[in-house]
Structure 1
């Protein structure tokens, strides 16, 4: 019975057999009952751990040498317990066997308390470090705008996996069966699902890809890629190759990329392959031909607002019928539609034209609102003026947007700054809004939450740590289109926001014609494609406070006209290609007198420019997925000279960062230092102790970081410390007891980290967030802390945090 409880694994079976013998013997061998009860307790307390050891030894393909001693001792222990049954009245034997039982108990206990902890730490670290080589590639899939990357069964992100479905999908059963029948038969290679935006094309093909018959046929060979506008064949192929766990090359031409993909697909032989190209625009028709192949069992499934005659099988997705529309509307209104005037409800349903997007947005905006609001909205929709391409759907969505108060609407309109289908980091939005609208960061996040509640976008919360540090926003491309059109009425000179897209060197006509009259926009967003030549024309934009540059080229020259933006406060540069973009003319930022916040994502920072630049007014710099190692490790780079008044430094997923500049401690203005997911960072400079104004120190998931420096004792203003998943830290320094203002300590995944006795000096400590094993250490000390809350998070060796 005990063996069955433990499981059939080798170590588990031996363990279970010993436990069974002990349970039976304690009732018969009365002379050894205390020793046997103690041994039984030790075994039962660690039964679950045995299963974990066997599980991870199997995953990591470890030999049993590490647990062999325990196995042998448990086998000997079983024999020992059986011998105890034969000992009757001989006092010498009773004493000798009692001692042996106590030694066996001590050996087993030591293994779980010491040896097993070391092994588990090693295993966790090996899993994390084994992911290091994959990190740069799988994070790429999220950085280049695609939100489809998901974990496979081993919890490794695969960039072309099929995204999750909405909670309900009414009205798609018939189209699903019709499309599935076409996909599974030996028909045309290319299948195009066409319909207007917001009709549910993407939802339909996601549902199709998750059908059992489809999964059985194509198995792991379903590649789901969001194409969007402008398309980039090289990036699409790189995603597919990355998904196949192959080395991802850099391609010079589309032809090179297609040829390499064709070679890899041929290597798969006759295996059925399904390539899904979602959201293909009409100008990308020629691209579809490039992905065609003579391979058998190879299908291409396309979604588009356009039709592509003669390319393949065309399936036109119809709007939802009345019954399905009412079901979805009922769901999004939280059931409110049941208690309303049915005539009013059906009028609103009619306005939504069977569009799942409109039904979701409109329904959510009416959820919980009084009857007067429902009637008012319906009247506005009736009176609305069609503003673009006779699209009733856009009118319906526009009315929901117009219902927002001015501040909410202003914030929402800024989302148009980022490319279609792009993951928008919440921190980037907050950086923009803090300077544009002068609000508190927490209040601005509340606005973001309010906008999410009316379904104008999806707010993806990646953790429940009480911080939005890793959260992001995803919006439907039709809603982004609505923002663009709402932002561009009237002459360019009077627009509050300018959203500009440049292909090659084709600038908007108004830009080329601009002479002496400046534009007055406060926000300027420029998106360039992979053919852009970085040859800039001048522009007068003195009122601009926020610049967002979305870059798809490998090399990019910062525009000279930015030097004249005397009111520029925020700069966001995002590399949207597969590789980090190499910036030049970066030193011009040093001449901007009001620049306070800069965010660089997937950017390679130029060493020769950084060593001489000064940004005296900069308060915050964020570096995400950037190549920074060359700059930070160079002895000529003085970070305190470059950013003398910095208040916040965020470095995330910079995989080449091995050390921080030695003079970082000279930036005494620094209040927040966040270095996360930088797996090669092995130590912190002693100069950290000079940061006397530091209030927040995040070091989460820096797996090679071996220790906190002793100089940490000087951080007497530190209130928040996060060392979660810092697996190489085996003990906290004694000096940590000097950080007497510390209120919050995160140390998830730090079960092997010892706590010094000085930890009891932290009388202001209010929250410790840790795993279950670490919580036992804190519970023993809890009496020393008057208001301590221990927040226990279950250990997550499957690395769910990497989804961030």
Structure 2
């Protein structure tokens, strides 16, 4: 398929016929003919795909088809939206009043469709001139087969490291040298050779963690931002809020960091430093006061490393040798462990593929990920090998060629998803949940059956991109789902290059950037920004995303009338006026609106026009006022708020698509028929002192899909009685957050498997109650207990618990009796500053795989029992 988005646009014109059939009467036949024209054009795209890289005329030809397809979808959807607004849920008199407007719109869309069909005819006439052949209707099934394949092993960056053993030992020894001066230890290599992977291995080495009492990691990157880098380091060393840090000027940030490190033996990793100027700016913030502190620096430029410390010889990370390359290739391509062999019929071609990767770990990892998703047939591997020369010719290093080969092998939907990742700034840690909402809003996810499972398909796409090593996992959840991800900078450059070739998106990162009038996807990475800059060219944008603009001092105002084709608008962290402009109601195709951490305090009444909105994120540090229109947003799936306020009880019943509702008040819930929210899975409620939880639980007991319930309080009066939770048979996850809970509920949901207690200040040891919850497998406690100075887990307590996190608990001892926690797999203890030692019984829990100690006192770490440490397979000290 020549274009990653075009196939879906063509399919969606057909889908719109089905979804909006009632509103398209009168132009249905014209729309059907237009859709058939687009399908016919698709017949020639496979041949164009094979030749467009060599022929700019063919690229332009494909671009013209894409533009026509986008325009077709926009025309149909805007028209259907207008007619729906004029007629749906209206009385007979109103419908008659709007009838002339409907006729006018029918005439307009008819003219626009005919004009569009003429454009397509002209495009088709150029086909023979360019020598493009008809290769048939059949779309490639190869990519579809790859979608069905699941990865055979969980992603683990450290698991498959090869060839770094000796250099790791050398780096650790260098960091631990008895030299009281502050020294810089550097790792230098070309991009993709594994600098960051090696630095992470050294940074997390047990001996290194024992030596330094203060550690931080920051990625500097090519687009260096001094204030942002300083904030990132300071935040790892202090409990400072974003608001506090954002108020500090550059000189103050440097002074604060210097002060924080003044008497510390610190280790700071500066990953991916591109310029000497970046080091010069940072160097003055790192004190050199005879504490044996170290900086570990990675760079592609040897001069940068030598400039940082002329007395320290940079460690050059060479490419892998033949056998190390082969072992890494086997792990990635076959999913095998150490010393595993290769099927005899694949070895010859496999070794040739490995040879062509030139020992570059990133290249081997990516090509291995590609092969992992393929059938283990010699013919399949030979196809990859035979295409190498074509791709290698595009790049002097060959790395981009290999990465582009992986891109070319992606199915059309994954190509779209991968290119979309290129909109995010370099080194971004991307929330998978947010990414999924955006992809679904773009309409590229196909429903698998009658249920609404587009988000499941979107998550599967993230997993497949991860399994192909096209994205890197940044953070996993306890149940081993990908929570956040990032794109390696080389792969991001591939995405940007391909997007430019295909006119897919545009990134605005300097004031002088000219925004194309043809842009459909625009990411703004740099401000100040001329308020009229976009408005003057009025591109037909579908996505408008803002990043890294929270330092911009002026309010940003948008002319929403210029963006009537927008599906996605993300303004997270953007400073805007207190009230969202009424003009937002003009953007009726909008499906995703991100207003998180903006200064928006009120949503205008025109919001009720956003009938297509699927995701609304208004999580701010203070309540957001809304008019009583939420019930009209019939497509709404996810509503994220810290807290919403309304002058009258907020109506939400009837929202059959709503899956997530966070930040709603107790009284608003009680005024609605919650049974009508048939898709609701996650609910977060603010409760007051007089809230009757028993009645709430009865009210929610028949909401069959409700799995997660959050109850919050933010005032210092005591909680209401929490009786009645046992009525919630469907709830499997419960979160209680707020001060002065005093004591635990008398009962819990009978099928509860996940429990989180945050800032509850319990007076009595909660373990005797919690350990009896028979299905509990996940427990997190943060500042949950302020009673006597010890807790006790009794014999056979928590017989199903697999994950336990204890944070900010003011206890000096945790007793674990023999036979307790028999299923425990991971124990995380974080910032429990009074805790003197670990329970001795942990060494006898055979299931315990990981012990994570985060920000614990130096005395605690140094006093760890050696037998305990050796008994746990994975000890991680952060």
TM class, shorter-length: 0.5 to 0.7
- The answer as to whether partners of 2:755 and 2:776 remain within 8 angstroms in 1 is yes
In structure 2, relative to structure 1, the CA distance for the partners of 1:429 and 1:710 (3 Å cut) is same
Give the Cα separation in 2 of the matches to 1:222 and 1:501: 33
In structure 2, relative to structure 1, the CA distance for the partners of 1:602 and 1:187 (3 Å cut) is farther
Q: Does 1:457 align with 2:471?
A: yes
In structure 2, relative to structure 1, the CA distance for the partners of 1:443 and 1:793 (3 Å cut) is farther
Q: Does 1:200 align with 2:194?
A: yes
**TM superposition shift of 1:378:** 1.8
- The answer as to whether partners of 1:639 and 1:663 remain within 8 angstroms in 2 is no
In structure 2, relative to structure 1, the CA distance for the partners of 1:381 and 1:167 (3 Å cut) is same
**TM superposition shift of 1:239:** 4.7
In structure 2, relative to structure 1, the CA distance for the partners of 1:343 and 1:582 (3 Å cut) is same
**TM superposition shift of 1:353:** 3.2
Q: Does 1:501 align with 2:542?
A: no
- The answer as to whether partners of 2:725 and 2:747 remain within 8 angstroms in 1 is no
1:285-434 equivalences in 2 (<5 Å)? 285=279, 287-296=281-290, 297-306=292-301, 307-308=303-304, 310-313=307-310, 314-334=314-334, 335=336, 337=342, 339-367=344-372, 368-384=375-391, 390=396, 392-434=398-440
In structure 2, relative to structure 1, the CA distance for the partners of 1:514 and 1:731 (3 Å cut) is closer
Give the Cα separation in 1 of the matches to 2:486 and 2:199: 19
Give the Cα separation in 1 of the matches to 2:583 and 2:534: 16
- The answer as to whether partners of 1:732 and 1:754 remain within 8 angstroms in 2 is no
1:202-351 equivalences in 2 (<5 Å)? 202-211=196-205, 214-218=208-212, 220-228=213-221, 230-244=223-237, 246=239, 249-250=244-245, 251-266=247-262, 268=263, 271-282=264-275, 284-285=278-279, 287-296=281-290, 297-306=292-301, 307-308=303-304, 310-313=307-310, 314-334=314-334, 335=336, 337=342, 339-351=344-356
**TM superposition shift of 1:568:** 1.5
Give the Cα separation in 2 of the matches to 1:187 and 1:711: 60
3-state SS of 1:409 partner: helix
Deviations along 1:443-495, one digit per CA (max 9) or x if unpaired, are 44333333332222345541339xx6x83334433333322332222546697
In structure 2, relative to structure 1, the CA distance for the partners of 1:355 and 1:549 (3 Å cut) is farther
1:535-546 equivalences in 2 (<5 Å)? 535-536=556-557, 540-546=562-568
Aligned to 2:499: 487
- The answer as to whether partners of 2:471 and 2:487 remain within 8 angstroms in 1 is yes
Aligned to 1:670: 677
In structure 2, runs of 5+ residues without a counterpart are 1-154, 448-452, 506-515, 757-765, 779-795, 801-820, 830-850, 855-878
Name which of 485, 490, 494 aligns with 1:473: 485
1:649-660 equivalences in 2 (<5 Å)? 650=660
In structure 2, relative to structure 1, the CA distance for the partners of 1:379 and 1:603 (3 Å cut) is farther
- Higher-helix-fraction structure: 1
Deviations along 1:212-243, one digit per CA (max 9) or x if unpaired, are 6544542x222222344655555544554444
1:728-739 equivalences in 2 (<5 Å)? 728-732=743-747
Give the Cα separation in 2 of the matches to 1:547 and 1:255: 35
- The one of the two structures with greater contact order (alpha-carbon pairs below 8 A, sep at least 6) is 1
Deviations along 1:329-365, one digit per CA (max 9) or x if unpaired, are 1221235745355553343224323222221121122
> Could you tell which deviates more after superposition, 350-359 or 493-502?
493-502
- The answer as to whether partners of 1:499 and 1:524 remain within 8 angstroms in 2 is yes
- The answer as to whether partners of 1:554 and 1:581 remain within 8 angstroms in 2 is yes
**TM superposition shift of 1:255:** 1.2
Q: Does 1:528 align with 2:528?
A: no
In structure 2, relative to structure 1, the CA distance for the partners of 1:216 and 1:712 (3 Å cut) is closer
Structure 1 length-normalised TM:
0.60
**TM superposition shift of 1:620:** 4.2
Give the Cα separation in 2 of the matches to 1:409 and 1:173: 36
Give the Cα separation in 2 of the matches to 1:683 and 1:274: 50
In structure 2, relative to structure 1, the CA distance for the partners of 1:721 and 1:291 (3 Å cut) is same
Deviations along 1:657-703, one digit per CA (max 9) or x if unpaired, are 99674656356643425257999999666456555655214136979
Give the Cα separation in 1 of the matches to 2:518 and 2:397: 23
Structure showing greater radius of gyration is 1
3-state SS of 1:384 partner: helix
Aligned to 1:577: none
**TM superposition shift of 1:191:** 4.1
**TM superposition shift of 1:200:** 0.8
3-state SS of 2:570 partner: strand
Aligned to 1:47: none
Aligned to 1:446: 460
- The answer as to whether partners of 1:748 and 1:793 remain within 8 angstroms in 2 is no
Give the Cα separation in 1 of the matches to 2:550 and 2:396: 32
Aligned to 2:626: 610
Aligned to 2:615: 598
Give the Cα separation in 2 of the matches to 1:280 and 1:680: 51
Give the Cα separation in 2 of the matches to 1:682 and 1:421: 47
**TM superposition shift of 1:403:** 0.9
Deviations along 1:41-63, one digit per CA (max 9) or x if unpaired, are xxxxxxxxxxxxxxxxxxxxxxx
1:789-800 equivalences in 2 (<5 Å)? 794=824, 798=828
Q: Does 1:171 align with 2:163?
A: yes
Deviations along 1:404-455, one digit per CA (max 9) or x if unpaired, are 2222333333333444444433332332333412432334433333333222
Structure 2 length-normalised TM:
0.56
Give the Cα separation in 2 of the matches to 1:497 and 1:443: 24
Name which of 729, 734, 758 aligns with 1:723: 734
Deviations along 1:313-332, one digit per CA (max 9) or x if unpaired, are 45543322333222211221
1:19-34 equivalences in 2 (<5 Å)? none
In structure 2, relative to structure 1, the CA distance for the partners of 1:640 and 1:361 (3 Å cut) is same
In structure 2, relative to structure 1, the CA distance for the partners of 1:361 and 1:192 (3 Å cut) is same
- The answer as to whether partners of 1:200 and 1:356 remain within 8 angstroms in 2 is yes
In structure 2, relative to structure 1, the CA distance for the partners of 1:773 and 1:255 (3 Å cut) is same
> Could you tell which deviates more after superposition, 201-210 or 658-667?
658-667
- The answer as to whether partners of 2:569 and 2:590 remain within 8 angstroms in 1 is yes
Deviations along 1:259-287, one digit per CA (max 9) or x if unpaired, are 11222222x2xx42222122334474554
Give the Cα separation in 1 of the matches to 2:744 and 2:502: 60
3-state SS of 1:369 partner: coil
Give the Cα separation in 2 of the matches to 1:514 and 1:385: 42
Give the Cα separation in 2 of the matches to 1:517 and 1:499: 12
Aligned length: 581
- The answer as to whether partners of 1:484 and 1:499 remain within 8 angstroms in 2 is no
In structure 2, relative to structure 1, the CA distance for the partners of 1:518 and 1:693 (3 Å cut) is same
- The answer as to whether partners of 2:565 and 2:587 remain within 8 angstroms in 1 is yes
**TM superposition shift of 1:581:** 4.2
Aligned to 1:571: 593
Give the Cα separation in 2 of the matches to 1:169 and 1:795: 24
In structure 2, relative to structure 1, the CA distance for the partners of 1:405 and 1:795 (3 Å cut) is closer
Deviations along 1:689-733, one digit per CA (max 9) or x if unpaired, are 5556552141369799765565996x8xx7444337899543338
